[in-house]
Amino acid sequence: MIFVVIIGGIYLLIKSKGSTCSDGIQNQNEEGIDCGGKCKQCTINEIQKQPEVLFADFIPTIENNYDLIARIKNSNINFGINSLSYVFELYDANEQIIASKQGKTYILPQETKYIVKPKIFLEKPLAAAEFKIKDVSFVKLENFQELDLKIKNRNHYLDENEFHKITGAIENKTSYDLDTIEVVGLLFDSNNKIIAIGRTEMNTVLMNETRGFEITWPYQISEPVFNFDVHVYTDVFSNENFIK
């Protein structure tokens, strides 16, 4: 009996110094804790990867006007970004900053997204654009499934004024009535470089509804267009975006 008591006491002492996850969170230098085992809540300490800037550029449109574009990626699996503050810093040929344009956006888990700032007027010629991420707010979204917004009947052509135009339709196959959907259109040259960007918004798109969209570039694009693409986004982090 004495031997059993001694052995039991030693076992309890070792166990208490090892895995002491009494509160379910790995927050006190606990050892031997597996997030898939006893301390399931320690997953809140997952590393949140900062979004990656894939590229930033500008496109001249009409005189003294430019469209700004950046592409970012959120490689997190379980974390979306409900608020991302950014700034486009614009430089002249002497590498002097001549303007900055700020904004906010959002991005879903594992999403790659285009950010567009159209119709930027500048008094000096623009030589370079840099995109910087300022503040990021993460939201955990476990088992997130991609929104079912389908792009249908996409088409690119020149209208009667020789203006490039992209048309198509968005089908809302989600389970929600959505207040705002953003549509971004891209035109590419033979080297797959973006030579024109445009955006439009669709409002009050109901569940199972299909709505047409149109993006027009009301100026001449000097380079031949060899390809085009369309991307669609909606803000799942805003309660106001879900129509009751």
How do the domains of the chain map onto residue ranges? 52-140, 149-243
Best CA proximity match to 227, nearest among 185, 192, 184: 192
Contact 217, 196 (CB under 8 A): yes
- Indicate the class that CATH gives domain 52-140: mainly beta
Residue 33 has pLDDT above 60, yes or no: no
Q: Please report which confidence band the pLDDT of residue 147 belongs to, taking 50, 70 and 90 as the band edges.
A: confident
The whole-number average pLDDT for the span 97-123 is 95
Diameter of the chain measured on Cα atoms: 99
Q: What pLDDT does 14 receive?
A: 63
The whole-number average pLDDT for the span 90-119 is 95
Three-class SS of residue 86?
strand
The whole-number average pLDDT for the span 127-155 is 91
Name the β-bridge partners of 68: 58, 117
Structural tokens at position 77: 């699996």
Best CA proximity match to 91, nearest among 130, 63, 119, 128: 128
CATH number of 149-243: 2.60.40.10
Residue 170 has pLDDT above 60, yes or no: yes
Per-residue pLDDT tens digits for 198-235: 999 999 999 999 999 999 999 999 899 999 999 999 99
- Specify the DSSP class assigned to residue 7: H
Per DSSP bridges, beta strands 79-91 and 128-140 are antiparallel
What's the number of CA atoms in the CB half-sphere (13 Å) around residue 14?
6
Q: Determine how many CB atoms are found less than 10 A away from the CB of residue 2.
A: 6
Between 36 and 103, whose confidence is greater?
103
Q: What pLDDT does 31 receive?
A: 47
Mean residue pLDDT across the chain: 87
DSSP string, 95-156: S-EEEEEEEEEEE-TT-EEEEEEEEEE-SS---EEEEEEEEEEEEE-TT-----EEEEEEEE
Amino acid occupying residue 17:
K
Per-residue pLDDT tens digits for 42-91: 444 567 899 999 999 999 999 999 999 999 999 999 999 999 999 999 99
Domain 52-140 shares a fold with domain 149-243: yes
Q: What pLDDT does 109 receive?
A: 93
Contact 34, 18 (CB under 8 A): no
The answer to whether the pTM exceeds 0.85 is no
